[in-house]
Amino acid sequence: MRETETVVLGAGPGGYVAAIRAAQLGQKVTIVEAGEIGGVCLNVGCIPSKALITAGHRFQEAQSSDFLGVKTKEVTLDFSKTQKWKDQQVVKTLTNGIRALLKKNGVTIMEGFGSFLDKKTLQVKTKNGNEKLMFKQAIIATGSSPIEIPNFKFEGRVIDSTGGLNLKEIPKELIVVGGGYIGCELAGAYANLGAKVTIVEGSSNILPAFESDIQALVVKGFKEKNIRVVTSAKALKADQTNDSVTIEIDVNGKKEKMTADYVMVTVGRKPNTANLGLENLGIVPDSKGLIPVSDQYQTQEKNIYAIGDVVAGLALAHKASYEAKVAAEVIAGKNVKKDYRVIPAVCFTDPEVATVGLTKKESQEAGLKVSTANFPMQANGRALSLNATEGFVRLVFEKDTELVVGAQIVGVNASDLVAEITLAIESYLTLEDIALTIHGHPTLSEMVMDASEVGLGLPIHM
């Protein structure tokens, strides 16, 4: 039987961060991972999807840069080389780096599936058999898995996002069931790589979590890529052969069939809380499978913590990493708790989308009197020089105090631009605070300053 002070279940962006931080604060730490170090995010999620998105952008740029005076002869794509780059140069580099960081910080790595026997003992099923691990504290960071819908079992040509990232060839035709973050990102990536893509979404719009003007710009971008978007549609069943798969959908009561090389189902994720032995701890997940926790991420068993996709809130890697640090510091005896105002959310579509804080509607529903200030990408010099003028930066601010409470960005590098506004909201900054901050020129970040000046009624570049 092994012994440790703190055991972490799961080595994703929540688990490995928790393990490293706990070790940095003096704990003897063991991390248990049933799959790959780095979890879904680094291996079959955030990182490899962005690699394919980048490859798609490069392929498109190589074919359509005549307007710059850049002319190329016939452009071809060796997708096997693309996948090799993604797996070896991107994913493997990062996962090996995480493994090295764990070892550097003295974290013991156990490869196997861990389940609780009681509140002090973990059983780890390894390839060499079962081992027991005694611990003082535990952090559950087991992440989530794709949801499988009826009549769309993940096998053959019906795939989840993991299967979508690991295709051996670019499909001639691809159907994506689910128009949320993951579905829209991979639909755009494969369209850029040359596939004919159809998105089937149950809601009245794709990306239902975003505002309508943002949705419209993403739909416009999809139309330019010849992506068909079918909304208010329910996927009923899938029938496949060795060469293709045909699905039947119901669109407002009208049945329709469509055939493709693959169907990728991306309708959401479910927390990995089954088979962890939680019943041996007296911990009962809620109806969604989520583990109830305090603002210090403690479960009802005070020495058992839970973070990331297995607790309430958005299933985001950066949220899990934040929670990891809090839990690790609580275990180390620090007087800390959850303390953030906002969490940014990013979708890597074309154009990119990023939001943080409240929308105008949400602000009004919360009883706040707010206004908004928009600044268009087409009025920014750097955006013009990048030939990426679609989109805008929008700030939401209180009318009386001019305190910034939210932002929505759509356009090039929205994923990076949102960081400044996130910091502004966390720091209780006003429009004037941002407007008086000198921004580099020519940069995209100037649009945040310009939007602030619009809100103040003193725009220079509009």
What is the rounded average pLDDT of the residues 431-454? 98
**How much of the chain exceeds pLDDT 70, in percent?**
100
pLDDT digits (tens, 9 = 90+) for 13-44: 999 999 999 999 999 999 999 999 999 999 99
Query: How do 254-260 and 228-230 pair as beta strands?
Result: unpaired
Query: Distance between CA 365 and CA 148 in Å, rounded?
Result: 34
Placement of tokens 């939007």 in the chain: 451
pLDDT of residue 19: 98
DSSP 372-399: EEEEEGGG-HHHHHTT----EEEEEEET
Say yes or no to pLDDT of 423 above 90. yes
**Rounded distance between C-alpha atoms, residue 309 and residue 316, angstroms:** 7
**2 vs 134: CA distance, rounded Å:** 6
Which residues are the active-site residues? 441
Is the pLDDT at 1 greater than 90? The verdict is no
Residue 371 has pLDDT above 90, yes or no: yes
Are residues 346 and 319 in contact, defined by beta-carbon separation less than 8 angstroms?
A: no
Q: How many CA atoms lie within 13 A of 5 on its CB side?
A: 13
Looking at domain 2-145+270-331, what is its CATH homologous superfamily? FAD/NAD(P)-binding domain (3.50.50.60)
Domain boundaries 345-456, corresponding CATH code: 3.30.390.30
pLDDT mean across residues, the chain:
97
Rounded Cα distance between 316 and 386, Å, is 29
Compute the distance between CA of residue 350 and CA of residue 64 in angstroms, rounded to an integer: 16
Summarised one tens digit per residue, pLDDT across range 90-143 is: 999 999 999 999 999 999 999 999 999 999 999 999 999 999 999 999 999 999
Taking 90 as the threshold, does the pLDDT of residue 398 lie above it? Answer: yes
CB atoms within 10 A of CB 457: 8
Whether 170 contacts 190, CB under 8 Å: yes
Please give the distance of CA 44 from its chain centroid, rounded to a whole number.
12
> If residue 360 lies in a helix (H) or strand (E), which one and from where to where?
helix 360-365
Helix (H, G, I), strand (E, B) or coil at 9: strand
Per-residue pLDDT, averaged over 45-66, amounts to 96
Query: pLDDT digit string (tens) for 237-281?
Result: 999 999 999 999 999 999 999 999 999 999 999 999 999 999 999
Output the pLDDT for position 268: 96
Average pLDDT estimate for 80-90:
98
CB half-sphere exposure, 357, CA atoms < 13 A: 29
Residue 73, pLDDT score: 87
Burial label, 249 (beta-carbon count in 10 A; 0-12, 13-18, 19+): buried
Please classify residue 147 by burial: count the beta carbons closer than 10 Å to its beta carbon, then call 0-12 exposed, 13-18 middle and 19+ buried: middle
Q: What does the pLDDT average to over 51-67?
A: 95
Mean pLDDT of 441-453: 98
Residue 82's pLDDT band (boundaries 50, 70, 90)?
very high
Assign 87 a pLDDT band (cuts: 50, 70, 90): very high
Amino acid identity at 372: T
Which CATH code for domain 158-267? Answer: 3.50.50.60
Domain boundaries, the chain: 2-145+270-331, 158-267, 345-456
Q: Locate tokens 């730490």: which residue?
A: 29
Half-sphere exposure of 40 (CA within 13 A, CB side): 23
Residue 181 pLDDT exceeds 90? yes
Same fold? 158-267, 345-456 = no
| Average pLDDT over every residue of 342-367 | 98
Task: Give 358's Cβ-side CA count (13 Å radius).
Answer: 22
